[in-house]
Amino acid sequence: MNRKLRDIADIQFGSYDKPTSIGEVKYLHASHFDKLLNPTKFKESFIELDDKNEKFLLQENDVILAGKGHRTFAWAYDISFGKIIPSSLFFIIRINSQEILNTYLAQYLNSEKVQYNLKLIGAGATITSIPKKELEQITIAIPSLEEQQRIVNLIELMDKEVILIQELLKKQTALKKGVVNILINNQMKV
């Protein structure tokens, strides 16, 4: 089944706030995300919750999409990450349908074809800016919940494999340097 994004979610921009080094709520920027689109680089970016910004607090099935800047990507919020308010760089996509998982929607929005379309939509400016009306028109392919979960599980497994390969490559590179140093130092002693 295919549905327009506007039919399965409410979309709004994140909050514009000035972060501080301490606070009760994490304030997300694009720089907080690593290459695998996980918020692992989070540092000293907090805000206090108040009546003005409370509506931007992420909820259980939300997805955020970086809609401004050089890097367009989506991330599915997980409540284990704690209280988060995304900056105004992000769209908050609040899923209002029981037929789609936020993790699937984020992976779908990060797919090559959708990313290409998002770049086309946001083109024309020095810095990419995706208009909300255009984003709402994106068609989302929605398989069964079971199939969505299988897709998400496979992608997450492949992400773990990429991380392991990267770690192995770093260790192999360090080993090579050590072996080269030993071989060269032994030659200098002769």
Give the pLDDT confidence of 99-121 residue by residue, as tens digits: 999 999 999 999 999 999 998 88
> Does residue 125 have a pLDDT over 70?
no
Q: What would the pLDDT profile of 21-47 be if each residue is shown by its tens digit?
A: 888 899 998 888 888 788 877 777 999
Q: For 67, what's the count of Cα atoms within 13 Å in the CB-facing half-sphere?
A: 23
pTM for the predicted model, two decimal places:
0.85
- Contact predicate 99/149, CB 8 Å: no
Percentage of the chain beyond pLDDT 70 is 97
Residues 91, 169: Cα–Cα separation, whole Å: 36
Range 2-142 classified under CATH 3.90.220.20? yes
